[in-house]
Structure 1
Amino acid sequence: MDIKKFFTAIPRHAQTLLRVGTTPDSNVEVVGEDVKEKTEKRVTSQTRLPILPPVPYQPRDVNCMPVQRLAKRTLCFQRAWFDSFPWLHFDANVSGVLCFTCAKAACMDLAGMARYSEDTFVSKGFCNWKKAIEKFKIHEKTSAHMISHSNLKFRSSNNNVDAQLSTHHLEEQTKARNALLKIVTTVQYLAQQGLAIRGKESSDGNFMKLLELRSNDDVVLQRWLTRTTSYTSVAVQNELLKIMAHMVLRNICKNVGLFAVIVDGTQDIQGVEQEAICVRYIDDAYDVHEDFIGLYSVSEMTGASLSNML
């Protein structure tokens, strides 16, 4: 075999046939050229999309826009059409108006879901002013226009799924915080007024009845009370009361200067000795105060036991 023939360049028509992937035949050569021509046309049509500004260009002076000459009259674009159809965009390169929404969606490749798209409003330009209002109304109701509008609106919002979930989570946290605040203030009100929080049944006590009354004016609280975990149990009520009691003690301790302790005991209904402790003190302004600290139980009434408790 001649080494020079082996490295001889492949003829041009053979290269075309090899790209198509067929055997050499005169008819297939034409097919290869047709495929090439169609590909070039498709690429050319894709590159003809207009370069759009951030917002539709709607000139105040419409005299710069092309006119439509008929047999007996000349029609011009009306400035009021921009107000009726704000998506209209004038492009001097196509000598007509485009749909800014559809054209921008096509440039951003966001109109792929639309079945039919009107090239007149996307790239070629519309200038048939005689049927302008009729065509504008028809185009505004097409699926291609509505899909392009929806996709652009979603893209411009810049809210991905994580951001939407985060926003929803923050909204739920806010609702939960407000509902919990209503529960805390209900316990606080009953404690300040010295009213019983619970009755014979937990659902019949002042606490639940007051919450139900407040929920009539608050839809969020009403929904919250129907949840499985509503933070209205006996354990939660006792914990809230303990937190409030500690806050009161902290405020008293901040103001205590010179002080004396008063202890007095009595038995409860079960016979357990309960020692009531009060603190008598003067503050920085030398005003005398006497505050109740709490009830404490002791195992036996001896001096050592009382001293340890105190």
Structure 2
Amino acid sequence: MKNASIKKYFGNTPKSSIETPSSSSHANENNNKRSREEVEVSEYEIVGDPTLRKPINDYSINIREEVRRRYITKGACQPKAHNFPKTQICGQLRKFQKTWFDRFCWLEYSASKDAAFSLWCYLFPTGNRHGDEVFINHGFRNWKKAFENFRDHEGGQNSRHNHARVQFELFKDQRHNLDNVLSQKFKQDEIVYRVRLTAVVDVIRFLSKQGLAFRGHDESISSNSRGNFLELATLYCERNDEVNKAFNSKSYGNNQLTSPKIQKEIVNACAAEVRKIIVNEIKDKFFSILIDESRDCSIKEQMAVVLRYVDDVGEVIERFVGVVGGMLPTLVHHL
């Protein structure tokens, strides 16, 4: 039988996985590049001059908080030693005053455009009103009444600038930020869950490899022998403090990962991975199917299925792929 026949039993391979090595390599490189761009922030992304910055909402949502964090760490662009140029406004030469930096901590100056911007409104834009756009995208350049315009931009309690200020301060106070507290709690729960899941998978892999039964006749807490799975999991906890804490941590009853249903799901997942490895090992080689049928005490048919083939070094390999019930059509559907 050829590769087309083995696909009949194990399902068709997705188109992307049978592309030429070169096209697959280019696709993987492009995907990896896009993934890196979505989760990594380059040092060149953090620009001091407000005019040259990319709008905050143009960043991927995956890295937007990191961009904000870096700009906050860098601080507002306030070049106090800069020689501010003079501009003819209403018949008089006027220029940006460095003393404004002391009064308005959010104020930024762009040397390339000779314009003023708002760091808070840039990091946390809350609207597209004309006045806000000036301090975010275009830049403010009317130095005649600059101080009054800066005060007007700040506005009252419900102004967009004030909303941006509140978000700015909450973002800086990460320890007491509710979103951050919840995020940290979820991360800690995820770590505990991974430790618990890894321990359960280790126990299941051991029992499966040794061909041992999982369940016990009496799995109650008062039982002296609760079955191989629970007893081995208990021994694992006694030998490993981290696993013990994970199993004894406060978690919902359906999150302990010790129920028979969860055991079967993990076993089936392991079996599926093993079958994938066997199929990839056979590839387009010739193979044969060995089937041994038997009946249990309830006269229910069960078939043990084995694939036989020759590997790359000429050795005959036999791989057991599962036990299924019913006739051959059921076998084909199962595989």
Q: Tell me which interval the TM-score lies in, with the shorter structure as reference length.
A: 0.3 to 0.5
State the TM-score, normalizing by the size of structure 1. 0.44
Q: Which has the higher contact order (CA 8 A, sep 6+)?
A: 2
State the TM-score, normalizing by the size of structure 2. 0.41
Report which of the two structures shows the higher radius of gyration computed on alpha carbons: 1
